[in-house]
Structures are given as C-alpha cells and as structure tokens.
Amino acid sequence: MKANVGGIDRILRIVVGLALIAWALLGGPIWAWIGVVPLATALIGFCPLYPLIGMNTCPAKKG
C-alpha cells in the first residue's frame, strides 16, 4: 500500500473522524461510528477508494 492521503486531507479526516466518534459516544446515532473509517485512513495514510477513482492527495516524494 503506497501512501495516497496527504497533509490537509489527513487533518480533515482526523477532525471529521474524531467528531463523528465523539458524537456516537455522546448518544448520537449508531451510524456516527462510521467516523472510524476516516480516522483509520488518516492514521494509515492510505485510502482504498482513491486508487479506484484515480485520486492521490499525497505529495510526490523528492529523492
């Protein structure tokens, strides 16, 4: 798995994921647990949907 989730994308995923999980913990709807998905993809740095749609927000590594 090559990283395909970059800077701003990663930050937004963490914020949205944590917000949804907090909402679920505070009595929100059961579907709010979907926040685990953006949080996990941010922490791993890979989104399995991105290759399918040809997207990549991770900057190219300079070597």
Q: One-letter amino acid identity for 4?
A: N
Within its chain, how far is the Cα of 6 from the centroid?
Answer: 10
Where are the chain's structural domains?
Answer: 7-48
Other C-beta atoms lying within 10 Å of the C-beta of residue 45: 15
pTM: 0.87
**Model pLDDT for residues 3-22, shown as the tens digit of each residue:** 999 999 999 999 999 999 99
Token pair for residue 29?
């709807």
**Model pLDDT for residues 33-46, shown as the tens digit of each residue:** 999 999 999 999 99
